[in-house]
Amino acid sequence: MEPKPCIICVAITGSLPRKSDNPAVPISVSEQVESTHEAFEAGASIVHAHVRNDDETPSSDPEKFAALKEGLERHCPGMIIQFSTGGRSGAGQTRGGMLPLAPDMASLSVGSNNFPTRVYENPPDLVDWLAAEMKTYGVRPEIEAFDLSHIHQAAKMYADGRLEKSPYVQFVMGVKNAMPVDRDVFDYYRATMARLLPDSEWCAAGIGAHQLTLNEWVVETGGHARC
Amino acid sequence: MEPKPCIICVAITGSLPRKSDNPAVPISVSEQVESTHEAFEAGASIVHAHVRNDDETPSSDPEKFAALKEGLERHCPGMIIQFSTGGRSGAGQTRGGMLPLAPDMASLSVGSNNFPTRVYENPPDLVDWLAAEMKTYGVRPEIEAFDLSHIHQAAKMYADGRLEKSPYVQFVMGVKNAMPVDRDVFDYYRATMARLLPDSEWCAAGIGAHQLTLNEWVVETGGHARC
Ligand SMILES: [Zn+2]
Ligand SMILES: [Zn+2]
Ligand SMILES: [Zn+2]
Ligand SMILES: [Zn+2]
């Protein structure tokens, strides 16, 4: 039997870290393209991208996303481009303003949960609008599963046609006040995927140093990794 | 071996149903006291109570809660009184304004999630404030677990002392856009309770007709029931 390949997704920028946290964080579009290019040559197949304003704050500007996409297509041909529609870069429909660029994938939160100091709000009507835009532009969603019900909700949306493409699911663990890094939950998430979304692949994201733990777990169990 | 007793909690009013939905819904304090008295005589041990304004809209008025508590203590001596601190009756700290009345128990949501048409917001600082008030007044929390991480969060808060009394946990299932009624999840919730909160008891609430399904499951598996 052939071993199953492990997809590596590189999250080059994230929504929050600044150069003062780590001078290697790529902020400008050209920095992001070159950082992704290095990861692509090292074996990454998916790039998960946020864009930033010149002052390093999170942005949802579709023009920045367009410039990034153009650079990535030139420097990393065949790489899968995934844009973030997460809530730190803006509120409401501005979060999905780049979807008409038709990236291969986009992140999608289908529920709400607590973050370290606030509520991560993904109201049902916004979730449905983002899903509809992804359908219109042929974008495959990566579901950010901050909790168990988010996997159930993704399966329901796939079953009732709100999601057209089988969703890729990311288990997010280690966010304070949301789901901790817990092997028992990780295994139950996997069993839930097999039960509710048998045609979907899944990966895992851990906050900070937890990513290494989660990468060990996904490699061991046939999931996909992030770095 | 003695059979384990099943605690019956009666949720007499809820936050939303009106007399136009069902003329039997008790709205005034005296109606609530008499409805609870009937349930008490029929075997209910806990009353889960919301209060209402005269126009039937949800209220958090501590004076109404005080009048209700006084009536319940007179008509139903020894019954366990649980007040709701849920989010439909008010925002922010008004949700806990009745805790100085020191009811035996109060409901506590420790995370956020989606509801049918909106986000059910329980920001971390409000959760911690409600928990601190419950500690001050010796109130045992009933955790409303709308999702798996809420059980983990309750266990963490009990372990680090933010909750003083071992929390009673209610599995809430069947709320649209939150956790569906799912036997596999129900069994995993039970296993999670045994692992993380072995000294706690648990019960289950299902929306509408789902309550009957959940009552069958809790009776079968050693949990507690709601009606
Ligand atoms: Zn991201
Ligand atoms: Zn290059
Ligand atoms: Zn209630
Ligand atoms: Zn009476």
User: Model confidence at A40, in pLDDT bands (50, 70, 90)?
Assistant: very high
Superfamily of domain B8-226: Aldolase class I (3.20.20.70)
What local confidence, expressed as pLDDT, does residue B89 receive? 73
Cβ atoms < 10 Å from Cβ of A199: 8
Number of the ligand closest to the Cα of A88:
1
Is B112 within 8 Å of A117 when comparing Cβ atoms? Answer: no
User: Model confidence at A47, in pLDDT bands (50, 70, 90)?
Assistant: very high
- Cα–Cα dist A171/A168, whole Å: 10
Is A117 within 8 Å of B125 when comparing Cβ atoms? Answer: yes
Neighbours of ion ligand 4 (CB under 5 A): B 37, 75
Query: What does the angle CA A75 – CA A6 – CA A179 come to, to the nearest 5 degrees?
Result: 105
Place of tokens 């060990």: A216
What are the residues of chain B with a beta carbon less than 8 Å away from any beta carbon of chain A? Answer: 111-125, 127, 146-149, 152-153, 156, 177-180, 182, 184-185, 188, 192, 195
- Cα–Cα dist B71/B37, whole Å: 10
For A71-118, the pLDDT digits (tens) are 999 999 999 999 999 988 778 999 999 999 999 999 999 999 999 999
The CA distance from A70 to the nearest CA of chain B, in Å, is 36
What local confidence, expressed as pLDDT, does residue A227 receive? 87
What local confidence, expressed as pLDDT, does residue A1 receive? 66
- Cα–Cα dist B216/B45, whole Å: 18
Number of the ligand closest to the Cα of A39:
2
What local confidence, expressed as pLDDT, does residue A29 receive? 97
The CA distance from A204 to the nearest CA of chain B, in Å, is 16
Cβ(B62)–Cβ(B98) below 8 Å:
yes
Q: Which two structure tokens, joined as six digits, stand for A116?
A: 């370290």
Task: Write the residue in A112, A180, A182 that is nearest to B113 by C-beta.
Answer: A112
For A123-156, the pLDDT digits (tens) are 999 999 999 999 999 999 999 999 999 999 999 9
One-letter identity of residue B112: S
Q: What is the A158 CA–ligand 1 centroid distance (Å)?
A: 22
What local confidence, expressed as pLDDT, does residue A36 receive? 98
**Mean pLDDT on A56-81:** 97
* Chain B residues whose beta carbon lies within 8 Å of the beta carbon of residue A188: 188
Domain ranges, ordered by start, for chain A: 8-226
What local confidence, expressed as pLDDT, does residue A15 receive? 87
For A174-218, the pLDDT digits (tens) are 999 999 999 999 999 999 999 999 999 999 999 888 999 999 999
- Cα–Cα dist A206/A226, whole Å: 9
Is B113 within 8 Å of A118 when comparing Cβ atoms? Answer: no
Pairing of strands A46-49, A8-11: parallel
What are the residues of chain A with a beta carbon less than 8 Å away from any beta carbon of chain B? Answer: 111-125, 127, 146-149, 152-153, 156, 177-180, 182, 184-185, 188, 192, 195
**Ranges of residues in chain B whose predicted pLDDT is under 50:** none
User: Model confidence at A10, in pLDDT bands (50, 70, 90)?
Assistant: very high
What local confidence, expressed as pLDDT, does residue B3 receive? 82
Secondary structure (DSSP) of chain A: -PPPP--EEEE-S-SS--TTT-TT---SHHHHHHHHHHHHHTT--EEEE-EE-TTS-EE--HHHHHHHHHHHHHHSTTPEEEE---TTS-SGGGGGTTGGG--SEEEE--S-EE-SSSEE---HHHHHHHHHHHHHTTPEEEEEESSHHHHHHHHHHHHTTSS-SPPEEEEEE--TTS----HHHHHHHHHHHHHH-TT--EEEEESTTHHHHHHHHHHHHT-BEE-
Task: Write the residue in A111, A177, A178 that is nearest to B114 by C-beta.
Answer: A111
Query: What per-residue string of b and e applies to B185-216 under the rule 16 or more CB within 10 Å gives b?
Result: bbebbbebbeebbeebbbbbbbeeebbebbbe
- What ipTM score was computed for the predicted complex, to two decimals? 0.96
Q: What is the A114 CA–ligand 3 centroid distance (Å)?
A: 21
Strands lying side by side in the sheet with B8-11: B202-206, B168-173, B140-145, B105-108, B80-83, B46-49, B8-11, B225-226
The CA distance from B14 to the nearest CA of chain A, in Å, is 23
B1: exposed, middle or buried (Cβ count in 10 Å: 0-12, 13-18, 19+): exposed
What local confidence, expressed as pLDDT, does residue B78 receive? 97
